[in-house]
Structure 1
């Protein structure tokens, strides 16, 4: 699930959901890293699940730099690992920042934020309307696009390496931003928006998207939910709650996706 947006109306303590699986994937825009309540929420989930996967969204770094936000998340991950070692009742916290995590000998999770590629045609609209460039310290459209390029390069390299060296592996990719311009990934109301490239990027020609080793790709950020199987047999899905005042009716806090066969 993603886009819980606890930072709105300070709702960190008000969201409750039933545990129906061993793993929980939180794919960004959960809350602000600057707010300790986010970490209290995460600690609670680590006590409920064997593994909690966490991807930074664009809202998590608000009121600090992206580098500082990542540093705080890595420190939390290290702290939780020490806690896990000393207590069998605590699960594992996995911060997905160009991170590979092997669930088993045949199942691998790859995760990163995947900031979108802002097109030159939409740069002015995106920069003037997206709060990211005001609330993330020292963050520019150029930084945004460079981060996108870095994540795509990493995903392509990892998928290529796994497909060649470990062909038995099924790959599951978790990102915050949307990797596709497929009409099934977006609301028809936003199809011709002048800020579309702030939310999604067409990766249809990239190996991380075309490889049959990739069995599923889950994302957030768009506040539009979907689940479909594309032409290559890859499941594409999003389960996003949205802002507290405007929650998505299609969001399902109990949604469970089976990783692999």
Structure 2
């Protein structure tokens, strides 16, 4: 059983970054819930525990202690950025006391690759920091920063539920590769193996990206979900 501790940053009185009428705490909870729902519905032998599932206050110490006492295999903290309105893009962090050849860095490399394949954000790179949740957790940990809420271009994506679903899917794709997760019999695989060398396809419904998928059956399922209501469905290959 793979045990994932999923941490939507901030919450309650701590809004996190703000901009364009949005608050970080709300966006990251949305993404994290989508990650949990995909894992629960499509994968076998995965147990997901979240630091919060609603808009509540949770201290940093509570998050790391809860993950440690639960015995998580991986700690994944979801955030969005804010700065000065001009900065934009995606970046992720591991603890700065770790080497680039550590197991945590190897997991990070896979996660970074899968997320940046689909998120259509400027790639700001793989970074390190002395963040509490990276330093105080006893398992490998990653913190992702998914765009800048005060940048107009990034904010347009952050306000789009289809884009949020795609970003969640990118995180799940990374987890699947990094930890060799197996799809459940009632998931979207239907016997069609997901190979990391297979191309990824965007499914675009009436001009809006519905998702990005590697497994053939996932693509067909996305088309089927929208077939009755859409005027136009496009399938666009984005990786050779």
Question: Shorter-chain-normalised TM-score: which range?
Answer: under 0.3
TM-score computed with the length of structure 1 as normaliser: 0.26
Instruction: Calculate the TM-score normalised by the size of structure 2.
Output: 0.28
More strand by share: 2
